[in-house]
Chain A
Amino acid sequence: MKSLDVTRINIYAPYKVWSDGEIYRFETDNGIKYLVDFELDSNPYYTAFWFNLTNPEHTKSPGDIKIAQTVICIIEEFFRLNPDVLLYMCSTDNGQQAQRARLFLRWFNGYEQQKRYLIKATEVRGVGPDDKPIKEYIALIVPRNHPQLDEIVSRFDAEVAMFNEMKP
């Protein structure tokens, strides 16, 4: 993956972003710190990266739109340099993955983003600690001009269906 240009991100991002090796960081007006990174996915068919976002102190920041705007700037910079596929899996902390999935979609479903990216989010049945079934929420973001767009979306839909057809 090509490293992101934080100077470019900071032209538009409301919160200042800096990089710490491969991790990108920012801090909100309320002192809440966020860490972001991208990890190469292991699927053998197309290049994709998992997008990771965490607030290790688990501090809530309702209504802070600047967090979403900063995250969008980071993702836009990712796609400018890496015209690949982005995958996002919600954290299952406190069992709030459904809420996180809705929030992420709201962040990324702005008019400008919808024009340029195809976004799909879905619930799948995963396996949690102690082999207990767990609901996972996964999002797929593909630039609309990606040459394998149709294949990637078909594959994602088929694989998600495969999960959800399984007996719990």
Chain B
Amino acid sequence: MATTNYKQRTREEVMAWLQKARERKDAFQKRANEIFAEEDRLRQQAADSHYYDIAVK
């Protein structure tokens, strides 16, 4: 087994690692929600601008 520099992490280090992973996961979820909200906003803005009303004439 390639165990150069093998060092067991402490319980506290592993807990912190898991907590950080959870925070990243939640941050990604939040970012995804923001992307969708922004896209919805832009779609609504386009609809409200009556651009499509003009475009189909």
Which residues of A approach B to under 8 Å, CB–CB? 20, 23, 33, 35, 37, 39, 41-43, 45, 50, 52, 54, 56-57, 87, 89, 91, 124, 126-127, 136, 138, 147-148, 150-151, 154-155, 158-159, 162-163, 166
Q: B14 touching A126 by the CB < 8 A rule?
A: no
Closest 7 CB pairs of A and B: A150-B1, A52-B28, A56-B32, A35-B32, A56-B36, A54-B32, A159-B14
18 new A-B contacts at CB < 8 Å, known A54-B32, A126-B18: A35-B32, A35-B35, A37-B28, A39-B24, A43-B17, A45-B5, A45-B6, A45-B7, A56-B29, A56-B32, A89-B25, A91-B25, A150-B1, A151-B2, A159-B9, A159-B14, A162-B14, A163-B14
Most buried by B among A35, A41, A147: A35
On whether A89 and B21 interact (CB within 8 A), knowing A54-B28, A56-B29, A158-B8, the answer reads yes
Q: How far is the CB of A127 from chain B (nearest CB, A)?
A: 6
Q: Is the interface of B mostly helix, strand, loop or mixed?
A: helix
* B contact residues around A166 at 8 Å (CB): 11
A151 adjacent to B3 (CB under 8 Å): yes
Q: Is B20 an interface residue (CB 8 A)?
A: yes
In Å, the complex CA distance between A33 and B15 comes to: 33
B14/A50 in contact, CB under 8 A: no
Find A154's partner among B1, B9, B22, B35 (CB 8 Å cutoff): B1
- Smallest beta-carbon distance A99→chain B, Å: 17
